[in-house]
Amino acid sequence: MSAIDGARRLDRRDLPEMERHLLALEPADRRARFGSAFSDAAILAYARGLNPARGVLVGAVDEASGRILGLAEAQPAEAPGWVEVAVSVQAAHRRRGLGRGLVGAVLAAAFERGAEAAEFLFASGNRPIAGLVRALGARIDVTLDRAEIRRPALTRRQAA
Ligand SMILES: CC(C)(COP(=O)(O)OP(=O)(O)OC[C@H]1O[C@@H](n2cnc3c(N)ncnc32)[C@H](O)[C@@H]1OP(=O)(O)O)[C@@H](O)C(=O)NCCC(=O)NCCS
């Protein structure tokens, strides 16, 4: 079985588990994921604002418990045609390819829906996400706090 077995698009019914996943993140992971030290209240507000019809949400779901072990989001960015991608994996399940698989899946879905490019924003010292996006072929800015991946040319031709 591959590490990404159980990854699937998430919908409204999954919102309570998405909330639980984000609340379970430790303070350092909250800073890494959200760019600041989100309180429980801030995470609840964020989770309750998630709209599966607006952004693409992909989760690695443990079938036995129903728990979300990892969550990737592609949300519409300010620039037309761009999405902003963010990802989190429960600490006990890292370094098994979950994050990479989730980001790959959320990018594929976003490009399929018409996005032209994806950006990732992160702290310049966040080696895990920098390594992950580099492994996916991203171009990382010299400031080391942003990366981007363009929609592959093949997908663009197929969609045309
Ligand atoms: C970033 C994060 C999602 C990575 O999840 P993961 O499931 O451990 O990632 P993967 O196992 O798919 O790793 C893929 C690649 O990323 C890189 N990577 C992952 N963790 C790393 C680490 N701790 N140090 C250096 N490189 C790392 C490696 O290149 C790795 O490939 P390898 O294991 O073959 O060497 C996880 O560390 C996390 O949830 N961090 C907190 C939230 C966060 O920082 N999110 C990103 C900002 S949006």
Residuewise pLDDT in 10s, the chain (160 residues)? 444 466 899 999 999 999 999 999 999 999 999 999 999 999 999 999 999 999 999 999 998 999 999 999 999 999 999 999 999 999 999 999 999 999 999 999 999 999 999 999 999 999 999 999 999 999 999 999 999 999 997 655 555 5
Nearest CA to ligand 1 atom 18: 128
Specify the pLDDT at position 141.
97
What is the DSSP track for 100-152? HHHHHHHHHHHHHTT--EEEEE--TT-HHHHHHHHHTTPEEPTTSSEEEEEPP
| 129 C-beta closer than 6 A to ligand 1 | yes
Element of type H or E holding 42 = helix 40-48
Element of type H or E holding 98 = helix 98-112
CA of 33 to the centre of ligand 1 (A): 12
Domains of the chain, CATH where assigned: 7-159 (3.40.630.30)
Burial of 13 (0-12, 13-18, 19+ CB in 10 A): exposed
Mutate to test the pocket of ligand 1, among 58, 132, 140, 145 (most ligand atoms within 8 A of CB): 132
